[in-house]
Amino acid sequence: MVAVAFGASVAQAQQGLADTVERLKPSIVAVGTFQKTRSPPFIFRGSGFAVGDGTLIATAAHVVAESLQIENQETMMVLAQGPSASQPQAREAKAIAVDKVHDVALLRITGPPLPTLKLASSHAVRDGESVAFTGFPLGTTLGFYPVTHRAIVAAIVPVVIPSANAANLNARIIQSIRAGDFALFQLDASAYPGHSGSPLYDGSSGEVIGIVNMGFLKNTKDSAIGQPSGISLAVPIQYLGELIRGSR
């Protein structure tokens, strides 16, 4: 009887996640830059998701282009769910708030609002919680296909991991040291560079608790773990909340 009950609870959890993924997919976007005269016109940089009033897109700060070829009419752009995987909606975007220390950013898109995701409190997150994240690990080369990975919060760890020597320190780590340590969620799942900016959420409710970040992983002492290794990191959603409140 115990085995039957356990199997039923697992099936319910899987069904709950499937329902959640179906509900949140319209909020997931691909973030990149667009230039009509180049090939390909759209260059993918990372993932993102709609928040706030539906015209705000949350992503990782390192996904945002630091400079654009304005003279060649290059712009930031997001691709959202469209009529088909080969026909996503293209929306021009502009960065309105960027927090490089915590590596989170907000974009404002043109056009009608997208369905939004609800933000949860990341303060109550504990080791062992079941979560999921959805984004574009391989970009949009094969079409607009958001990909979902399941995980648990394996640990809550400080962002500043000591390096073997000063030569391994970069600007982001130095900024983090000056600002004081903050915690990241370590996940037992493989995330890829294209996952940066993806929402990390509760599989049952769909509430977002963090933003997947591959940039911090590559800044650790052993850069080899920046390759798919079964370890990923996410920034607690509280830092995005601070950006949203500051943009009002």
Look at residue 5 in the predicted model and tell me its pLDDT. 41
pTM of the model: 0.83
* Residues near 115 by beta carbon (within 8 Å), at least 6 away in sequence: 24, 26, 27, 50, 54
Residue ranges in 79-231 assigned as alpha helix (H): 171-179, 215-218
And the tokens for 169?
């320190």
Neighbours of 74 (CB within 10 A): 19
Instruction: Give the separation between CA 248 and CA 246, rounded to whole angstroms.
Output: 6
In three-state secondary structure terms, 115 is coil
Q: What does the pLDDT look like over 181-232, one tens digit per residue?
A: 688 999 998 888 899 999 999 999 999 999 999 766 554 444 434 454 567 8
Residue type for position 233: L
CA–CA distance, 90 with 104 (Å, rounded to integer): 22
Q: Where are the domains of the chain?
A: 130-238
pLDDT band, very low/low/confident/very high, at 13 (cuts 50, 70, 90): low
From the options 2.40.170.20, 2.40.10.10, 3.30.160.270, 3.90.550.10, give the CATH code of 130-238: 2.40.10.10
In this structure, the number of other CB atoms found within 10 A of the CB of residue 171 comes to 9
